[in-house]
Amino acid sequence: MPLSLLLANARAQLKGGRGGTPLLQRLYTPGFLQPGDIALQMVDDTAGHALMVAPDPTRCIHSVYKDGVSYAPSLPFSLRLYRYRGPDDANDPIAQRAAFLAQGWIGKVKYGDGSPWRAFGAAFGSSNFGRGAHARLLKYRGREEATSMGVVMEHARPKNAICSELCILVYQLVSAENAPSFIRLDAKHATPEVLRRYFDANRGEWECILD
């Protein structure tokens, strides 16, 4: 782990959260984390890694080199946490559906054909949701057994996805394209920092609940 990240984690462990509550105490208070929350690991005010809270909110899902989509061993200390707060179906919450979809990708979606370079490629090209991003989304939706009775299933998935791509795609796949929950970014070309800026620009739908 880089020294800068070690120092950032150490500072965060000593820092209290808003209201004077210690950060770790807030994170592990039952009910604080909710399925579909997105955690961004911060280093010097820049997001470097993205994770999603699993259907079991004591666990997180991410995508890393070699392991691909998998459960994270722990939640990073130096983080910013976002929660979808837009219009929702009370009987079928969007965030919970996104978390279940991400869980279904564990062990089935790789990080990038065994290469770490996919993460560097995310920084090239436009992160705006355009024709290329739309075409890829249609491809995932159209895969065999991707939907059942109108519900997106785990078969609607890419072969490879970096951490931020995972978080963006699952919300896109469980949302209509005109819905507030649809993250309007090109998932393949959106880094964790691009995702952070998107959330901060759309605070009406995405609340920063821990900073």
Residue 173 sits at φ, ψ, to 5 deg, of -75, -25
d(CA 33, CA 209): 10
Residue type, 171: Y
Q: Could you read off the pLDDT tens digit of each residue along the chain, which spans 211 residues? A: 343 443 344 444 434 333 334 555 667 677 889 999 999 999 888 999 999 999 999 999 999 988 999 999 887 768 899 999 987 766 678 999 999 999 999 999 998 766 666 666 676 778 889 999 999 999 998 875 666 655 677 778 899 999 999 999 999 999 989 999 999 999 999 999 999 999 999 999 999 999 8
**Does the 3-210 domain belong in CATH 3.90.1720?**
yes
Instruction: Return the domain boundaries, the chain.
Output: 3-210
Residue 152, SS3?
strand
d(CA 27, CA 207): 16
Predicted TM-score (pTM) of the model is: 0.84
